[in-house]
Amino acid sequence: MNKEELIAKLIREGYIARKEVAEAMLKVPREEFVPEELRPYAYEDRPLPIGEGQTISAPHMVAYMIEAAGIKRGDKVLEVGTGSGYHAAVMAEVVGPEGHVFTIERIPELAERAKERLERLGYGDRVTVYVGDGSKGIPEEAPFDKIIVTAAAKEIPEELLRQLKPGGIMVIPVEEAPGFQVLYRVHKSPDGKIRIEKLLPVMFVPLVSDS
């Protein structure tokens, strides 16, 4: 399957609803974000290993999370779990030069490779890569319009809720029972009240916290 066929499939299946998300995914070369030997599989709709026990999410999940969070032009986004940098690159295309993506990765080698890749592909001006405990967010850059978490938490980290702007949305996988994860959409109302929607069962690597 090539990139155009993959995007057409994701539109047909309802994972991509907005033109700007389709255009973003068409612009970002997923093959640049996977190990060289896996490039032939870059446009298959499945996760792929990227080293250090981590994976690049399946394209349908990247699209679904961006749509679920309602990420749009001009948004300031926090991503927890940089991985290869692919998800950050797609979000950077959606937020445009008026927006910014701050992404945090706990594994220094992955963060360094993602940073180099994002800069080489022209996203250095709108994606900033941090190394650290993602469950703590990036307080010095908060608050954020949207937060995307690409690893499964045992519960929604309080620190991330604090860093979400009133009126903002967080999309995060939560392990509700051993081996069973659900993707949550968390709305923070303008007066700070939290409302949680359960979206669908998922399978992500665990969110590892230093504390």
Gap between the Cα atoms of 176 and 155, Å rounded: 8
Q: What's the gap between Cα 187 and its chain centre?
A: 17
Secondary structure of residue 86 in the 3-state scheme? helix
Gap between the Cα atoms of 184 and 135, Å rounded: 16
Cis peptide before 143 (omega within 30 of 0): yes
Identify whether 57 is a catalytic site residue: yes
Sign of torsion, CA 70 3 202 57?
negative
The residue from 57, 84, 135, 211 that is catalytic is: 57
Active site residues: 57
